[in-house]
Structure 1
Amino acid sequence: MASLRSIHSVIPLRRCSNLVHFRPAALGIDTRNYSSRKVSSGEYLHRSVVPTMHYQKSLPRLPIPNIEDTIKRYLAAQRPLLDDDQFRSTEKLAQDFQNGVGKQLNEELVAQDKNTKHTSYISGPWFEMYLSARDPVVLNFNPFMSFNSDPKSEYNDQLLRATNMVCSAVRFMKTLRAELLEPEVFHLNPAKSDTDRFKKFIRWVPSSLSWYGAYMVNAYPLDMSQYFRLFNSTRIPKLGRDELFTDTKGKHLLVMRKGHMYVFDILDKDGNLVKPSEIQSHLKYILSDPMPAPTFPLGVLTSENRDVWAGLRDKLIALGNAEALETVDSAVFCLSLDDESMRDHIHISHNMLHGDAYNRWFDKSFSLILTKDGQAAINFEHSWGDGVAVLRLQNEIFKDTIEQPLVHPGSVAVVDSASAVRRLQFNLDSELENGIKKAKENFDSAVSKLTIDAMEFKKGGKEQLKKSKLSPDAIAQLAFQMGFLRQYGQTVATYESCSTAAFRHGRTETIRPATIHTKKCSHAFVCQPGQHSVEQLKAMLNDCSKYHGQLTKEAAMGQGFDRHLFALRYLANSKGHALHGLYADPAYAAINHNILSTSTLSSPSVNLGGFAPVVPDGFGIGYGVHDDWIGCNVSSYPTRNVHEFLQCVHKSLEDIFTVLEGKSLS
């Protein structure tokens, strides 16, 4: 299970009044071959020998850590962030919690978990945390992942690429629902487990035992319970707590252009994919619609505070818009066709993360965005699940569209799109118009404060680090620690998370990359130049790498401390108990105020991934360690200088690779 670190999402934390709200960003998964070798044409991406949900019943349950281990790990993570007096105070509170209230709460949590064997101890509280958050989903929750361009340049045309991507997404959905999609499995020994022979064997093993059969050949099936929410799903704003809505009967696509909303069926009455040429014709019809942008585009409301949006939605329904809203909510997914061309990757990041809010419905489970010059991305709402499912969808769409596109340059269909495509109409009054106007003002104010910059380090990457027997992810994280120390002279709370999808209804667990080892190493490189030999610096790098590896193994096995402490606090709140002093400790608030919020992404389909900082004085760091280079896509608000930070990270990487080459630092 050690290598399950390569399945990791990022859910940075956000401190809001007395609650800690977790704010997810993007998720990264090391590249692996998702699709079955035998690809069928027509309705399905492929036909898996093993049914999609075959392993689900037998997945092991997410373990609840021992309270003693949780407190030990919590204190280890606090040590580099606190001075001696602060640490002694935090240590006293933590040990008092462990021996008293924490022990009692943990016994209650374990007993509760035994009565809910169909799920995990974190699943309910996690949904509650997301859906109760009142902050706008834009910048606070929704991340984006942009696609690489199609290697055949002529297929990067907006209309052509949108058509092919819509068709591939529908094929993915149909393959999933027919249980023909390859199960999500992490193979430690693919020569034994990722073979036709093994698959033919395991399909006859009862579902209740199938996980054990995979385990015997070092394969680890992953939880796929979130996948059904990918399609026909929307987050519905409600006062106090939102709801998730899914209606699998919906056969139509929601298309947004210039702030208008259009729908047409992408499945016929028998549930089959509409002819790709017809879909192309309908999208061409929408792209050629001369209707000017609406004065009050409804999509802007999905960028608003959730309670404000809930009240305005109730007003919309009262004015007779219930059917139109239900059409939006039940659509298979949202396709946003933007009229803008992208200037560079910074422009892409801003456009795909937030855009102008006119041409988005941020509440859909995911939106596929296509710009005028054929740049594509997925922006997704995060309450329904983690990025494992979204990245799988993105990988499959990319693979399918480049290997077997269904429409081609020059293809034209003669179809009566005018009768097939319907533009949705909404009744608005002055209160709603003012609400849209105010939402747009709030949105513009929020995004105007966001800065995004990027960096490419070209002097080394994964190959060189592995030759030096160092974890590429550990070294990237170390560079962020060094960079922040170089810029601000501090070690601060840092967040990286690891998927716990190897367990039934697992979500994520936190890796805490700021450690006593990274602090010591960073100070040696940044604050004490020339005071250590190359061998001493290499030894420190090795210590950082080993400890980071230990933390990630523990996290993959559900043995971190963040989720456990979160669940214990949630339980205490739900029982009406007063919270222990551990939760009121300034050190607890500080470690959950994640100034460095990080997410790594490695996939042949993904060009960029991005998200906003999770705290006003933080950085949102999307990064990738490639074979011979390292890239970062970083966001900040005005209290931090993202350009200078990236310069400091680049300098830190230069120093690390200089030492790895056996040279002393100048």
Structure 2
Amino acid sequence: MNIESANERLRHLLDVLSSVQVRPIANGLRPKIAVQGTASVTQIQTNRYVYNQEALLKYPVPQLSKTLTKYLETVRPLLSNEDFKHAEQLVSDFQNPNSTANKLQALLEKRAAEMDNWLTDWWQRVAYLEYRMPVTVHVSPGITLPRQNFKGLEGQLSHTVPIDKLGQKPLCMSQYYQMLSTCRIPGAKRDEMVTYPGDHPKAPKHITVIHNNHFFTVPVYGSDGAQLSMKQLIGQFEHVINQSQSPAPPVGILGTDKRDNWYKAYTKMCKDKKNKQNFEEIQRSIVVLCLDKSINDNHHDEVTSMLYEMHNGSGSQCNSANRWPDKTIQVVVGPEGQIGCSCEHATAEGPPILALLEYCLPFVEKDIPESSPAPGVALPTRLDFSISPDISDMMVSSCQALDSTIQDLDLIGSKFDVFGKNVPKANKLSPDAFIQVALQLAYYRMYGHPVATYESGSLRLFHRGRTDTIRSCTSASLEYCQTMVNPNSSISEKVQKLRDAVMAHRKYTDEVIKGQGIDRHFLGLKLIALENGIDLPKLLTDPVFESSCYWQLSTSQVPTKSENILCFAPVVPDGYGVCYNPMEKSMLFAVSAWNSCPDTNAAKLYSHLKEALIDAQDILMQSQNSNL
């Protein structure tokens, strides 16, 4: 790679990697964020909860009776009459005064009274840190960002990132304070997270840059604490590229393996003092920057190829080893200007990460004044690892395992440009609910039956809130699907069923984001029982209950102003992962499945989804025309 092409890549990178400094304001009400030009870098300062977290509500424990009523409502479209009667009996038994349900509810309410959020620590532990499958492919999402024609590359601007809101209600910003200088560390049975905020004695002044599988610690501040100028920072990256022309052993590939395998390799490598120091340098760094090599992807279109690159690195012979999968944010830059991000999921959801990245983009289009060079700039330091023969064998095994998983992944990305959220909005319908109902119809047409569907619902109205499940399959959505496939249904019937299904989804969504979902409540009852040595009630171990949580459709809406796509893998062997970005006049989709399942096909489901969206638009237009 020549320096000219490297500089072009760096310009793309440096614009996206505009710095963000989270600083407390005197009154402690809002986080101030300084977004700087190319010579800057993100630092998390002392107070990680400077936004008025105290004003946020505590996450509630829903009433048990309401949760059980909603449970029966959500399983009804999935069950035969016989199975539904069985579910009703289990719910009745669960509510019996002699059942342990009331005791579990009381214990959960006690936990809620004693903690700022009764769920979040549990959720991070059981959903992420104790999950032993690889984070690469199975957990971490990939994000593609639009290519930019940048103008400003230099200087420093101070701005305040708008506090996220739902309507006029502020959302919890705590996830923003755990994105940077944060890393996951493998453990024997449970991993851990480490964060180095600005007041930490080891607070970082560097980023980690990976090129050709080589790892470098790259200082981004001078000896007096001044941020490096654009020219200085480009010089740092040129040094990295010049010092890493040939590939290094794929140390980064070890972190893509199953967590227990990675823990064994990590523990063995840490016996060498230098290796242990190198790991800590990576863990402390503000972010990881992956300077990727060009790949010849003849099997996918450009959008899908970028999704593979950001999601998993496209394989061990491409860029999968040019990663540190445990880092919360890895900014990925390709040689043709591709930009994206890979996110470790334990501390933050995709939407806040995307919001932060997207917020930085507009500032790089401005002309930014030249900054003065920082004094006392230290050169990048290559992190050389001591690799024993058994670690080399582990690398080979990790490469084979990851390549096999990537080959099994059936992933597509596409832009639906027939219409965007303008159509449902013009018809006074929620765009998210509109898309979810279309997904139900797409699946129903493909398989002939409804499906348990997970949509991620934000709990950020609450202090340290994460997510709960929006159960998108409803009796109303099933009736809509049945009406749409019935050749005798009238347009007015179809439109009414569409509106009913959208309203049902909107109602359930509103309940979830207000802390009245059922899935995290059930999880809490399970975990509080396990912690107290109490046998689980039959309801929570029954096959009907478990099947209602078998998410063959795992979905998420990640709306942004620019053409960004987030993707993730299915969560069950015979399922799909569907992520979408509804824009004003178009929609972006990423659909995934597993090739090893003969019954799933990402392209086929997406084809049905496009048809379902267009059909919904058509019946709305026909209904309007008939009323003229």
**TM norm. shorter chain > 0.5:** yes
- Looking at structure 2, the residues matched to 424 and 37 of structure 1 have their Cα atoms a distance apart, in angstroms, of 31
Q: Corresponding residue for 1:302?
A: 255
Q: Is the 8 A contact 1:366 1:379 kept in 2?
A: yes
Q: Corresponding residue for 2:231?
A: 277
Q: Secondary structure at the match of 1:379?
A: strand
Q: Corresponding residue for 1:350?
A: 308
Q: Which moved more, 1:53-62 or 1:549-558?
A: 53-62
Q: Secondary structure at the match of 2:174?
A: coil
Alignment of 1:487-502 (within 5 A): 487-502=446-461
- Looking at structure 1, the residues matched to 402 and 523 of structure 2 have their Cα atoms a distance apart, in angstroms, of 30
Q: Corresponding residue for 1:381?
A: 344
Q: Is the 8 A contact 1:252 1:267 kept in 2?
A: yes
Q: Which moved more, 1:35-44 or 1:267-276?
A: 35-44
Distance 1:97 1:662, change over 3 A: same
Q: Secondary structure at the match of 1:662?
A: helix
Q: Corresponding residue for 1:326?
A: 280
One of 216, 219, 227 as aligned partner of 1:265: 219
Q: Is the 8 A contact 1:71 1:95 kept in 2?
A: no
Q: Corresponding residue for 1:445?
A: 404
RMSD: 3.0
Q: Which moved more, 1:105-114 or 1:341-350?
A: 341-350
Q: Does 1:392 align with 2:355?
A: yes
Q: Corresponding residue for 1:585?
A: 542
Alignment of 1:184-199 (within 5 A): 184-186=163-165, 188=167
Q: Which moved more, 1:129-138 or 1:220-229?
A: 220-229
Q: Corresponding residue for 2:59?
A: 62
- Looking at structure 1, the residues matched to 370 and 438 of structure 2 have their Cα atoms a distance apart, in angstroms, of 45
Q: Secondary structure at the match of 2:111?
A: helix
By how many angstroms is 1:151 displaced? 3.9
Cα-to-partner distance string for 1:440-494 (whole Å, 9 max, x where unaligned): 1111111110111234433333222122122111111111111111111121110
One of 612, 616, 622 as aligned partner of 1:652: 612
- Looking at structure 1, the residues matched to 271 and 34 of structure 2 have their Cα atoms a distance apart, in angstroms, of 52
Question: What code does the residue aligned with 1:312 have?
Answer: A
Q: Is the 8 A contact 1:459 1:629 kept in 2?
A: yes
Q: Is the 8 A contact 2:229 2:373 kept in 1?
A: no
Q: Does 1:233 align with 2:233?
A: no
Q: Corresponding residue for 1:636?
A: 593
Cα-to-partner distance string for 1:194-246 (whole Å, 9 max, x where unaligned): xxxxxxxxxxxxxxxxxxxxxxxxx3222122322212111000100001112
Q: Unpaired segments of 5 or more residues in structure 2? A: 1-29, 43-47, 198-202
Q: Secondary structure at the match of 2:419?
A: coil
Q: Is the 8 A contact 2:120 2:466 kept in 1?
A: yes
Distance 1:404 1:576, change over 3 A: farther
Cα-to-partner distance string for 1:127-183 (whole Å, 9 max, x where unaligned): 22121111110112100221112144xx6xxxx9xxx6xx99xx89xx7xxxx8446
Q: Secondary structure at the match of 1:335?
A: strand
Question: What code does the residue aligned with 2:519 have?
Answer: D
One of 504, 508, 511 as aligned partner of 2:463: 504
Distance 1:508 1:38, change over 3 A: closer
- Looking at structure 2, the residues matched to 402 and 148 of structure 1 have their Cα atoms a distance apart, in angstroms, of 13
- Looking at structure 1, the residues matched to 106 and 88 of structure 2 have their Cα atoms a distance apart, in angstroms, of 22
- Looking at structure 2, the residues matched to 274 and 487 of structure 1 have their Cα atoms a distance apart, in angstroms, of 56
- Looking at structure 1, the residues matched to 435 and 160 of structure 2 have their Cα atoms a distance apart, in angstroms, of 34
- Looking at structure 2, the residues matched to 556 and 312 of structure 1 have their Cα atoms a distance apart, in angstroms, of 41
Cα-to-partner distance string for 1:644-663 (whole Å, 9 max, x where unaligned): 11111122122111111116
- Looking at structure 1, the residues matched to 244 and 307 of structure 2 have their Cα atoms a distance apart, in angstroms, of 28
Q: Corresponding residue for 2:25?
A: none
Question: What code does the residue aligned with 1:451 have?
Answer: D
Q: Secondary structure at the match of 1:244?
A: strand
Q: Is the 8 A contact 2:580 2:589 kept in 1?
A: yes
Q: Corresponding residue for 1:122?
A: 119
Q: How many residues align?
A: 570
Q: Which moved more, 1:397-406 or 1:504-513?
A: 397-406
- Looking at structure 2, the residues matched to 75 and 269 of structure 1 have their Cα atoms a distance apart, in angstroms, of 63
Question: What code does the residue aligned with 1:147 have?
Answer: L
Q: Which moved more, 1:96-105 or 1:505-514?
A: 96-105
Distance 1:656 1:187, change over 3 A: closer
Q: Corresponding residue for 1:313?
A: 266
Q: Is the 8 A contact 2:556 2:580 kept in 1?
A: yes
Q: Secondary structure at the match of 1:420?
A: coil
One of 308, 323, 332 as aligned partner of 1:360: 323
- Looking at structure 1, the residues matched to 468 and 495 of structure 2 have their Cα atoms a distance apart, in angstroms, of 29
By how many angstroms is 1:497 displaced? 1.7
One of 366, 382, 389 as aligned partner of 1:403: 366
Q: Which moved more, 1:267-276 or 1:509-518?
A: 267-276
Q: Corresponding residue for 2:430?
A: 471
- Looking at structure 1, the residues matched to 389 and 148 of structure 2 have their Cα atoms a distance apart, in angstroms, of 45
Cα-to-partner distance string for 1:406-452 (whole Å, 9 max, x where unaligned): 789xxx999999x6011110111111111111111111111110111
Alignment of 1:62-101 (within 5 A): 62-99=59-96, 100-101=99-100
By how many angstroms is 1:387 displaced? 3.0
Q: Is the 8 A contact 1:94 1:582 kept in 2?
A: yes
Question: What code does the residue aligned with 1:346 have?
Answer: T
Q: Is the 8 A contact 1:232 1:246 kept in 2?
A: yes
Distance 1:575 1:181, change over 3 A: farther
Cα-to-partner distance string for 1:554-601 (whole Å, 9 max, x where unaligned): 011011101100111011111122211112211222122111111112
Question: What code does the residue aligned with 1:420 have?
Answer: L
Q: Corresponding residue for 2:144?
A: 146
Distance 1:634 1:285, change over 3 A: same
Q: Is the 8 A contact 2:569 2:576 kept in 1?
A: yes
Q: Corresponding residue for 2:129?
A: 131
Q: Does 1:243 align with 2:222?
A: no
Q: Is the 8 A contact 1:80 1:519 kept in 2?
A: yes
- Looking at structure 1, the residues matched to 177 and 50 of structure 2 have their Cα atoms a distance apart, in angstroms, of 11
Distance 1:270 1:221, change over 3 A: farther
Q: Secondary structure at the match of 2:428?
A: coil
Question: What code does the residue aligned with 1:595 have?
Answer: Q
For normalisation by structure 2, the TM-score amounts to 0.85
One of 293, 298, 314 as aligned partner of 1:339: 293
- Looking at structure 2, the residues matched to 516 and 662 of structure 1 have their Cα atoms a distance apart, in angstroms, of 25
Q: Secondary structure at the match of 1:622?
A: strand
- Looking at structure 2, the residues matched to 267 and 414 of structure 1 have their Cα atoms a distance apart, in angstroms, of 7
Distance 1:242 1:481, change over 3 A: same
Cα-to-partner distance string for 1:280-322 (whole Å, 9 max, x where unaligned): 111122234453112x311001101111111111100113311
- Looking at structure 1, the residues matched to 259 and 451 of structure 2 have their Cα atoms a distance apart, in angstroms, of 30
- Looking at structure 2, the residues matched to 608 and 445 of structure 1 have their Cα atoms a distance apart, in angstroms, of 24
Q: Corresponding residue for 2:11?
A: none
Q: Which has the higher contact order (CA 8 A, sep 6+)?
A: 1
Distance 1:109 1:493, change over 3 A: same
- Looking at structure 1, the residues matched to 540 and 609 of structure 2 have their Cα atoms a distance apart, in angstroms, of 33
Question: What code does the residue aligned with 1:593 have?
Answer: Y
Q: Which moved more, 1:508-517 or 1:335-344?
A: 335-344
Q: Secondary structure at the match of 1:279?
A: helix
Cα-to-partner distance string for 1:12-68 (whole Å, 9 max, x where unaligned): xxxxxxxxxxxxxxxxxxxxxx999998889799xxxxx972411221111110001
Q: Is the 8 A contact 2:571 2:577 kept in 1?
A: yes
Q: Unpaired segments of 5 or more residues in structure 1? A: 1-33, 46-50, 189-218
Q: Is the 8 A contact 1:281 1:415 kept in 2?
A: no
Distance 1:509 1:318, change over 3 A: same
Q: Is the 8 A contact 1:454 1:646 kept in 2?
A: no
